[in-house]
């Protein structure tokens, strides 16, 4: 893979007609090391956030040994990229054939469930040819928790209700060597209090079940930085989680897990796009909602942007983007702040696309080609450089200290 100093050097060397993905391996490695060194438990990388084999190897080399996989395709991909990794099949709804292959062919022992039916499916699929049940299963029961403190909710699709969790934990305990409880507070949780509420539900479910719990997995939801979204330091999240974890009625040697996706890989990638047309305050660019900018279109996510031409000197102005396809829905309202004199033929770098960005590109309408290169400069925003102003002085953030 080619390596350049920064986005301007890429434009100067390539003058690209198609979008270019800029990867920053050093930024992803730094984020992974941060979690490995500072989270008070075990860190799993959530592969769905960005399944790039290069990235899987980067986080492995940085010390992440466990991977949250959500499909048999992710199991195969991750097993090939990092053969010695511990894979955990964390999707609560899985095909029996996928479970069987994951357990018998790829050595997956850890599975998540949220219903009796899924438990029966896992037990049957992992049994041997004579029908003898597996003795080494590690099973996690996923609780439904609130997503009220997250920018994107994950509260409605998965998770057993608290009223039914006790019975499910009791039955699951009978079929596994190692029992855990897990949850997900939603994507981009903006306050540590999200985890306090969820861990209180964990407490209630354990008390109702009266079973030994070997692990608590607080899932993902750890935030990154975007325009208009300034989260507290991740250390605040870790401290609150650690304190409430040790107050739970769990085994003395119980493990604490987390599954960062966005927070670990958001800083890994940015994107160079070409302005193909300007219409007043709307810029037609060569990537969009069917490419790396899905979130910008469908959940109004604001990504940081910068113009790459040195001759643009106008004051910053609000712009919206249209992507390259024929679909009116290929629209990103932003606003994206760019020089007022930007025009067709200019290039823009769009930052913080390592999570759910480059990984979601499609080939719809014949668009979607993108070369990937490495760059050596820093991402537009970072939680991990150590130079960020502490946002807890703002009244917009809940401070739990």
Task: Kindly state the tokens that stand for 201.
Answer: 């539900």
**Final residue in a domain of this structure, among 265, 281, 316:** 265
pLDDT for the residue 391: 59
Same-domain check for residues 102 and 210: yes
DSSP secondary structure letter of residue 134 = P
Q: Which residue has the tokens 């200290």?
A: 401
Q: What are phi and psi of 317, to 5 degrees?
A: -140, 155
Q: How far apart are CA 271 and CA 371, in angstroms?
A: 10
- What residue numbers bound the domain in which 360 lies? 3-22+269-375
Same-domain check for residues 107 and 251: yes
In sequence order, what are the residues at sequence separation of 6 or more whose Cβ sits closer than 8 angstroms to the Cβ of residue 380? Answer: 270, 304, 306, 349, 351, 352
Q: Up-side HSE of residue 175: CA atoms within 13 Å toward CB?
A: 26
Cβ distance 214 to 176 under 8 Å? no
Question: Going residue by residue through the chain (401 aa), what tens digit of pLDDT does each one get?
Answer: 678 999 999 999 999 999 999 999 999 999 999 999 999 999 999 999 999 999 999 999 999 999 999 999 999 999 999 999 999 999 999 999 999 999 999 999 999 999 999 999 999 999 999 999 999 999 999 999 887 776 776 677 888 999 999 999 999 999 999 999 999 998 888 899 989 999 999 999 999 999 999 999 999 999 999 998 889 999 999 999 999 999 999 988 999 999 999 999 999 999 999 999 999 999 999 999 999 999 888 888 899 999 999 888 889 999 999 999 999 889 999 899 999 999 999 999 999 999 998 788 888 888 888 899 999 999 999 999 877 666 555 444 444 43
pLDDT for the residue 366: 83
Task: Kindly state the tokens that stand for 266.
Answer: 């958001």
Q: How far apart are CA 158 and CA 219, in angstroms?
A: 13
- Identify whether 400 is part of a domain: no
pLDDT for the residue 369: 84
Count: domains in the chain: 2
Same-domain check for residues 315 and 241: no
Cα distances (Å, whole numbers) of residue 203 to 139, 348, 367: 18, 48, 49
Same-domain check for residues 247 and 357: no
Same-domain check for residues 202 and 327: no
- Identify whether 397 is part of a domain: no
Q: Which residue has the tokens 């390592």?
A: 354
pLDDT for the residue 143: 95
Same-domain check for residues 254 and 317: no
Give the CATH number for residue 285: 2.40.37.10
Cβ distance 272 to 19 under 8 Å? yes
pLDDT for the residue 392: 56
């Amino acid at each position: 893979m080619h390596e350049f100093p920064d986005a301007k050097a890429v434009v100067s060397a390539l003058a690209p007609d198609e979008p270019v993905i800029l990867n920053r391996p050093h930024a992803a490695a730094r984020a992974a090391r941060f979690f490995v060194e500072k989270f008070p438990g075990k860190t799993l990388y959530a592969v769905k956030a960005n399944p790039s084999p290069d990235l899987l190897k980067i986080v492995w080399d940085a010390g992440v040994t466990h991977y949250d996989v959500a499909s048999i395709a992710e199991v195969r991909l991750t097993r090939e990229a990092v053969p010695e990794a511990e894979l955990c099949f964390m999707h609560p709804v899985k095909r029996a054939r996928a479970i069987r292959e994951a357990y018998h062919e790829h050595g997956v022992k850890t599975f998540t469930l949220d219903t009796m039916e899924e438990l029966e499916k896992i037990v049957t699929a992992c049994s041997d040819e004579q029908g003898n049940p597996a003795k080494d299963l590690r099973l996690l029961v996923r609780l439904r928790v609130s997503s009220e403190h997250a920018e994107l909710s994950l509260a409605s699709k998965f998770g057993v209700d608290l009223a039914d969790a006790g019975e499910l934990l009791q039955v699951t305990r009978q079929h596994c060597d190692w029992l855990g409880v897990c949850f997900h507070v939603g994507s981009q949780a903006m306050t540590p209090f999200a985890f306090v509420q969820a861990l209180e539900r964990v407490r209630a479910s354990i008390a109702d079940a009266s079973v030994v719990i070997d692990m608590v997995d607080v899932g993902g939801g750890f935030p990154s930085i975007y325009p208009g979204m300034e989260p507290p330091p991740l250390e605040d999240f870790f401290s609150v989680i650690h304190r409430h974890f040790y107050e739970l009625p769990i085994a003395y040697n119980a493990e604490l897990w987390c599954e960062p996706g966005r927070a670990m890989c958001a800083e890994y990638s940015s994107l160079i796009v070409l302005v193909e047309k300007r219409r007043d305050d709307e810029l037609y660019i060569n990537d969009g909602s069917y490419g790396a900018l899905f979130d910008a279109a469908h959940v109004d996510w604001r990504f940081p942007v910068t113009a790459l031409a040195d001759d643009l000197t106008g004051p910053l102005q609000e712009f919206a983007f249209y992507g390259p396809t024929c679909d009116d829905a290929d629209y990103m309202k932003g606003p994206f702040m760019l020089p007022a004199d930007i025009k067709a033929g200019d290039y823009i770098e769009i930052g913080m696309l390592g999570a759910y960005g480059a990984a979601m590109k499609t080939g719809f309408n014949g668009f979607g080609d993108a070369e990937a290169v490495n760059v050596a400069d820093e991402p537009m925003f970072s939680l991990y450089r150590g130079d960020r102003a502490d946002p807890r002085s703002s009244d917009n953030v809940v401070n739990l200290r």
